[in-house]
């Protein structure tokens, strides 16, 4: 992925509008290219400003009509597939050029209030999930670390953590949905003691989840499959499907 494509994905991430696949591509690219953090920060700042700074105002009908006409006439182009190590990436929505255009249009719509969305109504869309914010904070920390494992059932899981922050975020890709009535539960395994750290679900095999509580040096990050709501006993009831040591 080049810097231009990352910038387009960063615009989508700022308004929480990426598909699960593109969000994983964005997070991986950010982890591999920390020098691009400023791009992500700039887009996040713009999104926050749009969410907080514009009252709901109805523009003249002519402006709204012109804007919608421009949307209709703008060519919906896509970038060429990305080649990496023999693997071809195609598809994914929205694609980069279109996402950058949508980000600009979203700014116009928030300022104009042309479709009846005020700043308060848009704030939920423009605010990134807490887990994504936590991941960005970890990756910005001087002592940021990460470890990945390939899963027997397919897919991968990557733990991102910062000892100074005491924070951990787990990113999964290609992980199967649990059976009906079941959920994934996170654990800090501290010595021989498992400590519950929240539950999570996956969307098309992907998830970005911050663990509840503070990690300690040497903790193992584990995931088990439990009943909805988590283990009723506060202890794992199944063999972990994900185990990631942090030491």
Would you state the pLDDT for residue 79? Answer: 42
How far is residue 35's CA from residue 187's CA, in Å, rounded to a whole number? 32
**For residue 61, is pLDDT > 60?**
no
Mean pLDDT, the chain, integer? 78
**For residue 47, is pLDDT > 60?**
yes
198 backbone dihedrals φ, ψ, rounded to 5°: 105, 165
**For residue 81, is pLDDT > 50?**
no
H-state helical runs in the chain: 3-14, 20-32, 37-53, 61-73, 96-112, 119-126, 130-140
Would you state the pLDDT for residue 80? Answer: 41
Q: Residue 167 — pLDDT band, cuts 50, 70, 90? A: very high
**For residue 42, is pLDDT > 70?**
yes
Strands 167-173 and 193-200: unpaired
Look at 15-24, 79-88, 188-197, 232-241 and tell me which has the smallest mean pLDDT. 79-88
The residue-averaged pLDDT of 229-239 equals: 95
Would you state the pLDDT for residue 50? Answer: 63
Q: Residue 241 — pLDDT band, cuts 50, 70, 90? A: very high
Q: Is the pTM of this model over 0.75?
A: no
pLDDT per position as a tens digit, 105-159: 555 555 545 444 444 444 544 567 889 999 999 999 999 999 999 998 789 999 9
Would you state the pLDDT for residue 225? Answer: 96
The residue-averaged pLDDT of 57-67 equals: 53
Would you state the pLDDT for residue 143? Answer: 95
Q: How far is CA 222 from CA 32, 42, 45, 157, 206, in A?
A: 24, 34, 34, 10, 17
Q: What is the dihedral of CA 199, 202, 207, 212, to 10 degrees?
A: 0
Higher pLDDT, 14 or 63: 14
**For residue 87, is pLDDT > 50?**
no
**For residue 14, is pLDDT > 90?**
no
Would you state the pLDDT for residue 82? Answer: 43
Tokens of 174: 């290609």
| 38: three-class secondary structure by DSSP | helix
Higher pLDDT, 148 or 24: 148
The residue-averaged pLDDT of 163-167 equals: 95
């Amino acid at each position: 992925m080049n810097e231009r494509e990352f910038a387009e994905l960063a615009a989508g991430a700022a308004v929480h509008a990426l598909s699960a696949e593109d969000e994983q591509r964005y997070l991986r690219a950010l982890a591999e290219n920390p020098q691009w953090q400023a791009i992500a920060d700039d887009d996040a700042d713009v999104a926050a400003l749009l969410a907080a700074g514009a009252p709901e105002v109805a523009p003249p009908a002519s402006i709204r009509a012109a804007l919608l006409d421009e949307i209709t006439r703008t060519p919906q182009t896509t970038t060429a597939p990305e080649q990496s190590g023999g693997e071809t990436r195609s598809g994914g929505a929205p694609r980069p050029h279109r996402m950058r255009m949508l980000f600009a249009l979203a700014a116009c719509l928030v300022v104009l209030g042309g479709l009846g969305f005020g700043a308060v109504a848009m704030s939920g869309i423009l605010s990134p999930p807490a887990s994504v914010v936590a991941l960005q904070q970890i990756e910005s920390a001087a002592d940021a670390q990460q470890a990945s494992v390939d899963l027997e059932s397919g897919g991968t899981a990557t733990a991102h953590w910062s000892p100074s922050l005491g924070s951990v975020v787990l990113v999964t890709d290609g992980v199967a949905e649990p059976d009906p009535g079941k959920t994934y539960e996170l654990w800090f395994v501290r010595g021989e003691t498992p400590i519950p750290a929240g539950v999570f679900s996956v969307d098309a095999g992907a998830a970005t989840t911050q663990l509840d509580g503070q990690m300690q040096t040497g903790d193992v990050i584990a995931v088990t499959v439990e009943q909805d709501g988590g283990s009723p006993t506060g202890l794992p009831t199944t063999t972990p499907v994900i185990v990631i040591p942090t030491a």
